[in-house]
Amino acid sequence: MKKLGKQTVQFDNPPQIISSASVVGNKESQGPLADYFDQVISDGYNNQQTWEKAQMKMTEDVVNNALDKVNLTKDDIDCLLAGDLLNQIVASNFAARKFPIPFLGLFGACSTMIEAMAIGSMMIDGGAANQVVTFTSSHYQATERQYRTPNEYGDKYPPYKQWTVTGSGAMILSNQVGGVAVTMATLGKVVDLGVKDPKDMGSAMAPAAADTILNHLEDSDRSPSDYDLIVTGDLGQVGKEITIDLLAEQGCDVSKNFDDCGVMIYSSNQNCGAGGSGCGCSAVVASSYLLPQLMYGNFNRILLLGTGALLNPVTSLQGESIPCIAHAVVLERTGHLTEGIGRPSIQDNLSTKIEDLTKSEG
């Protein structure tokens, strides 16, 4: 691999995503991407005694699912890379306890999945690992209680607030042939323009997203039109619009090919404020929806960003503003199909569509 500019790494032998899996809660299973998720948990408790244990179980299950899809076992994996929003990333730690595999715990708030993909890709391209699993998760009730107030308190829900996604996503990155390649990673720096309201994450995170997009384009000498889609993790509607505006101010027009996983995951009639948030948001949307679109050629190349707000409740109470970060990876179609990516029904639909497209082109 080699450095491009200040923040980007280009992979010589791009690590390939050979499998991905997602599990979500009820709310997410009623949204626009319902058909794409691999598994839906019964309720917030997921047959466990507490929300935290529900999240741990969800996380463990999604890793096993990603392995099972391509008939791999724990012995085939060199490293787990994961983190989550619970204090001391316990959902990831406790899930990793079930796997006798080296584990690198990460914290990038809701950018964690992309951070994991970036580090995992550097390990594979550099020769430190052959195959790694990246995963993350979030849980609505557990997160609200920890970051804000328990839902039972009935705190006000302003329209710009986002809804933490209950969900967990996992991907297997490999030096073998796979369905989608990770060709570059752009590591974000901490950006803080002074937003202090912990309910207004979209506004806080937008400048970090814009900063990483601009640096990526400069480092790679590309323009937005080099991507079929530039997609952020969980800016929500408010943050998405601010990011488009911030980029436009810098002469960078992404108005035609920009979206946000937090906007995509819920429909407007689901009463989820400005959209989804949480580590699980970008993880499940990427794992279940974006990867099959890439594998089957609806997209050839996307820029996927994870966006994280690096606060905790104590820093807010102590009057601090919210430092934010965004990491990015470039995902590209490889031309190879793997059963590890996409649900069978989606695979059929998409591959039929591809065949039709090929015929009409012919």
Q: Give the footprint of its own copies on this chain (CB under 8 A).
A: 1-3, 6-7, 9, 49-50, 52-53, 78-79, 83, 85-90, 93-94, 96-97, 99-109, 115, 119, 122-123, 125-130, 187-190, 192, 310-315, 318, 320, 323, 325
How many CB atoms neighbour CB 48 within 10 A? 15
Six token digits for residue 265: 């995951």
Residue from 267, 174, 185, 132 nearest 11 by CA: 185
**In the complex, least distance from residue 122 CB atom to its own copies, rounded to whole angstroms:** 5
Q: Do 229 and 202 meet the contact criterion of CB atoms below 8 Å apart? A: no
Residue from 120, 105, 29 nearest 66 by CA: 120
* Residue whose CB is less far from its own copies, 269 or 318: 318
**In the complex, least distance from residue 175 CB atom to its own copies, rounded to whole angstroms:** 11
- Cα(281)–Cα(165) distance, rounded to whole angstroms? 6
**In the complex, least distance from residue 204 CB atom to its own copies, rounded to whole angstroms:** 12
DSSP-assigned letter for residue 342: S
* Residue whose CB is less far from its own copies, 114 or 264: 114
Q: In one letter, which amino acid is 276?
A: G
**In the complex, least distance from residue 189 CB atom to its own copies, rounded to whole angstroms:** 5
Element (H, E) at 241: helix 236-249
**In the complex, least distance from residue 168 CB atom to its own copies, rounded to whole angstroms:** 17
* Residue whose CB is less far from its own copies, 122 or 247: 122
**In the complex, least distance from residue 284 CB atom to its own copies, rounded to whole angstroms:** 21
- Cα(16)–Cα(177) distance, rounded to whole angstroms? 6
* Residue whose CB is less far from its own copies, 109 or 244: 109
**In the complex, least distance from residue 289 CB atom to its own copies, rounded to whole angstroms:** 26
* Residue whose CB is less far from its own copies, 90 or 214: 90
Residue from 312, 308, 330, 112 nearest 230 by CA: 330
* Residue whose CB is less far from its own copies, 32 or 313: 313
Buried residues in 79-116 as b, exposed as e (16+ CB within 10 A): bbbbbbbbeebbbbbbbbeebebebbbbbbbbbbbbbb
Beta-bridge partners for 16: 174, 181
- Cα(115)–Cα(120) distance, rounded to whole angstroms? 8
**In the complex, least distance from residue 100 CB atom to its own copies, rounded to whole angstroms:** 5
* Residue whose CB is less far from its own copies, 269 or 314: 314
- Cα(63)–Cα(17) distance, rounded to whole angstroms? 14
**In the complex, least distance from residue 16 CB atom to its own copies, rounded to whole angstroms:** 17
Write the Ramachandran bin of 17: left for phi over 0, alpha for psi from -120 to 50, otherwise beta. Answer: beta
How many CB atoms neighbour CB 332 within 10 A? 19
Q: Do 182 and 173 meet the contact criterion of CB atoms below 8 Å apart? A: yes
- Cα(330)–Cα(104) distance, rounded to whole angstroms? 22
* Residue whose CB is less far from its own copies, 229 or 328: 328
* Residue whose CB is less far from its own copies, 112 or 288: 112
CA distances from 350 to 81, 92, 203, 244, 347 (A): 30, 32, 35, 30, 5
**In the complex, least distance from residue 180 CB atom to its own copies, rounded to whole angstroms:** 20
* Residue whose CB is less far from its own copies, 89 or 302: 89
